[in-house]
Amino acid sequence: MRDDTIWIRLPAEELKQKRIFHGDLGGRFAYFRCEKMLPKDARLTASITAVSRYRLWINGVPVLSGPCKGDMERQYYETVDLTCFLREGKNVFAVQVLYNDPDIGRDQTDERAAIYGVVGAGRCHALAVDGEIQDRDGRIIASVSTGKSIWKVWLDNTFYLRSAKFSVYLGAVEENVDFRFSPPNWRMPDFDDSSWLCAESYGTVFPSPLFRGVGLVPRVRVLPRPIPLMEETETVFTGIIDRESDTVLDAGVHVNGYPRFTFAGLSGTEIVITYLERFGDGSDDKRIDDMSEEFDGRTDRVVLKGGTVRYEPFWVRTFRYIVIRTSDFSKPAMPHPPVYRRTGYPLTVESGISSSVPWVEKLWEICLRTLKNCMMETYMDCPYYEQLQFIMDTRLQMLFSYAVSGDVRLARKALQDFHCGMLPEGLLPGKTPSAYCQVISTFSLHYVFALWEYTEHTGDLGTARRYRPDIDRILDYFDGRRDESGLVGRIDPWAFMDWQEDWKDTGGVSPAALEGPGAVINLMYAYALECGAKLYEMTGRPGTAEEYRQRREEILRKVKTLCFDPEKGMVREGPSCRQFTRHAQAWAVVNGLLDAEESRRALKAALSCPPCSFAASYEWFRALERAGMEEQMRKDLDAWIALIARGSTTCPEEPHHPRSECHAWSALPIFEFMRTLAGIRQENGMIEIRPRLFELPDLSGETVTPLGKVKFRYQRTDGVWNYDISLPDGAQGMMITQNGKEIRFTGRGCFAE
């Protein structure tokens, strides 16, 4: 985007009148149109942004949504080749922009806050476009740049976002639109915009050379988009079921998309569109795809103007089913079959797995779909209603992404998002980007884990050095909360650990941590110190690394002295707390606090405690792996395998309390398939293969690693295991068979036992 690109908006006087007569304009939309007559073979690459959310159409065809989510300091613009959307003759560029009110954006109780993502350049709906149209010979023949071309604008006071129980506090939005007063076909070339106003210039996107020369920093810096555009693929529903009082659209699986409907009916008829993740309440004893069950979900409401209208929501919807009915519970008329544009981050999946045992591929697809559904312009908690990037969730999603793809761009952006949110006291916001700040103190430790894991996986020392100071500030924050016991005492705000059953009434926090030192928080802190030490060591700061390791040894020594119960062989939740959990034992084993015999004893004793939720099972599985208890890992996988019989096509947030049916922190099996079953991991510059196949008679596939792709095929015939592994060119491999035999090899290795 060029330095002289201009913001445009509704004329100030018109906007003032709208506010006088309509009050709060937050959640309303400004429509922008630009018409151009073009010859055949015209070409156009354009850059576009808006101070809030926008969606671009060309000649009535949806093109993209943006801008990529930034924060209070970063606003992004998209650059895209639009040539394929142009045609000979009249062309219309149409942009729908959400009106941005920063006062609303700062209030978490307003459902429009999260869709804003950040407070943009003032109380406005400004749009900026930079694009020169060329002919086949490269000569400029027209412009769609704001400030250089005529753009018309109209502010819609009838189409707006609203609150409901599925959206307040959490990020998803619902829409009301009354087509009796809102122009339904304004995106089309034949629409008459003669009554619309000419858009008003609103200053330049970038500061002037004078301002830059004296170091004046704009309120929001506009930067090029750091990740690829979201993919959009037009898709048909797998089923359309006409029932007595409604119509059910079945997508077949849980998806993100922009549905498009054509409705016909009398003026004033209200259409109610309900988007569902499931039927029923998701309880364990019922299938979630049983359409005879009750339903409740996110809802859009459309009022018809008479005749035929086409409706597409402004913001992406998440659904497996869509139920459509009129307000009088009659079936709506839809002259054309509904479709949707499936969307999400364009993740290139480079790993895959198969077996003659059906649950393997089914569970792989469930977990992969979950991960992909929670990847948009950021990682997301869950796409259905809580469309927010939380650190704990994101750290796990990053790990799962590494297991299936070599694309780390979204992971790198996530680290930048959290880095840019650093607070003065040394903690990070629990979620970001967000127009409002929520701090979850323990989540900053997960950022330390994530930064080290990213560095270990990618070897990207530039990113590690850039964000290295964040680790020091976070670890110093926790060190400053150590009390007279030598352990980290009670910390605020919200020290969330897990939604396990015993902690439901305490907001996911161990009771010990509410009173004073808690074993889990101290062990998490110790693990973060080790991650920080390894990162500082890798980036040339051995002195700081040694300091962290000394602190870590002090913490572990105190936990062992004050919290270990030798009679039970387990770590208590705190020095004065008699509760025992799987979480404390897992973190103790992961930290190496217990020797091999103690680790196995503690983990076996912990089986009598309530299980970790899906979200906290990653550390539990790593502890079982370290203790050589892979058989227990296989038993624990049954909780995910049971999702198949439940009718799930994605992993729910919690299987026993499914607030959401798609939550990527629950997609752990996608990681375990490759690390545990296939047994493929990168260790010390070589690829180690240590399969654990349990009852499976065969397993084959391929997996991406930082050194390249590994292909594998394991087959048991007449009691003999045959292993066939192909390594990337130049990679060293170590095969450790299920009987413990070690074999070094390069290239392709074929082994039997």
Q: How far apart are CA 721 and CA 741, in angstroms?
A: 13
Q: What is the mean pLDDT of residues 574-588?
A: 95
Domain positions in the chain are: 6-227, 232-344, 481-490+507-615+623-628, 678-753
DSSP state of 621: H
Question: Quick count: other Cβ atoms within 10 Å of Cβ 685?
Answer: 9
Does 437 or 721 have the greater pLDDT score?
721
Q: If pLDDT is split at 50, 70 and 90, which confidence band does 36 have?
A: very high
Instruction: Compute and round to an integer the Cα radius of gyration of the chain.
Output: 28
DSSP 469-499: HHHHHHHHHHHTTB-TTSSB---SS------
pLDDT of residue 549: 98
Could you tell me how many helices (H) and strands (E) the chain has, helices first? 18, 35
Cα gap 574→260, rounded to integer Å: 55
* Bridge partners of residue 132, in order along the sequence: 143
CATH architecture of 232-344: Sandwich (2.60)
Residue 425: both structure tokens together? 């006291």
DSSP E strands: which ranges in 266-347?
270-276, 298-303, 307-311, 317-326, 339-344
Which helix (H) or strand (E) segment holds residue 746: the answer is strand 742-746
For residue 44, what pLDDT is reported?
98
Q: Which one is predicted more confidently, 329 or 45? A: 45
**Residue closest to 441 by CA, chosen among 527, 513, 380, 533:** 513
* pLDDT for the residue 111: 46
DSSP string, 28-72: -EEEEEEEEEE-TT-B-EEEEEESS-EEEEETTEEEEEEPPP--S
Please report, as a single letter, which amino acid is at residue 536.
Y
Tens-place pLDDT, residues 79-88: 999 999 999 9
CATH 1.50.10.10 fits 481-490+507-615+623-628, yes or no: yes
Judge if 6-227 and 481-490+507-615+623-628 fold alike in CATH terms.
no
- Of 63-72, 142-151, 439-448, 723-732, the poorest mean pLDDT is in 63-72
Q: Are 622 and 590 in contact (CB under 8 A)?
A: yes
Q: Which of 138 and 106 is assigned the larger pLDDT?
A: 138
What integer is the mean pLDDT of 238-249? Answer: 94
Q: How far apart are CA 373 and CA 344, in angstroms?
A: 7
pLDDT at 104: 56
Name which of 122-126, 270-274, 449-453, 553-557 the model is least confident about: 122-126
Interatomic CA distance for residues 270 and 272, integer angstroms: 6
CB-based contacts of 231, cutoff 8 Å, min separation 6: 342, 343, 344, 345, 346
Residue 346 has pLDDT above 60, yes or no: yes
Domain 6-227: which CATH number of 1.10.1740.110, 2.60.120.260, 3.30.70.2740, 3.40.50.2300: 2.60.120.260
Per-residue pLDDT, 109: 53
Give 288-332 pLDDT, tens digit per residue. Answer: 999 998 998 999 999 999 999 999 999 899 999 999 999 887 788
- pLDDT tens figures, 455-501: 999 999 999 999 999 999 999 999 999 999 999 999 989 999 999 88
pLDDT per residue as tens digits for the range 584-626: 999 999 999 999 999 999 999 999 999 999 999 999 999 999 9
Residue among 491, 481, 493 nearest 430 (CA): 493
Q: Which of 259, 22, 32 is nearest to 158 (CA)?
A: 22
The 10 Å CB-count burial string (b at 16+, else e) for 230-266 is bebeebebeeeeeeeebbbbbbeebbbbbbbbebebe
C-alpha distances in Å from residue 692, one per residue of 355, 676, 678: 14, 6, 7
Between 134-138, 206-210, 673-677, the lowest mean confidence (pLDDT) is in 206-210
pLDDT score of 639 more than 90: yes
* Cis ω before 610 (30° cut-off from 0): no
Answer CATH for 678-753 from 3.40.1190.10, 2.120.10.80, 3.40.50.300, 2.60.420.10: 2.60.420.10
Query: Model confidence at 163, in pLDDT bands (50, 70, 90)?
Result: low
Please write the tens of the pLDDT for every residue from 611-620: 999 999 999 9
> Distance of CA 686 to CAs 702, 707, 708, 729, 735, Å?
17, 8, 11, 12, 11
> 32-36, 203-207, 676-680: lowest mean pLDDT where?
203-207
What percentage of residues in the chain have a pLDDT greater than 90?
Answer: 78
Residues 321/254, Cβ–Cβ less than 8 Å: no
Q: Could you please report the per-residue DSSP string of 383-407?
A: SSSB---BHHHHHHHHHHHHHH-S-
pLDDT in tens, 693-715: 999 999 999 999 999 999 999 99
Q: Please, which pLDDT band fits residue 52 given cuts at 50, 70 and 90?
A: confident
- Within 8 A by CB and 6+ apart from 109, the residues are 168, 169
Tokens of 663: 């939550």
pLDDT digits (tens, 9 = 90+) for 498-520: 998 889 899 999 999 998 999 99
* Residue with the two structure tokens 């576009």: 48
Mean pLDDT of the chain: 92
CA distance 123 to 104: 10
> Is the omega angle on the peptide bond into residue 67 within 30 degrees of 0, that is, cis?
yes
Pairing outcome for strands 174-178 and 298-303: parallel
Question: Which tokens sit at 623?
Answer: 């502890």
pLDDT attached to residue 21: 63
Q: What's the pLDDT band for 158 if we cut at 50, 70, 90?
A: confident
pTM metric for this prediction: 0.95
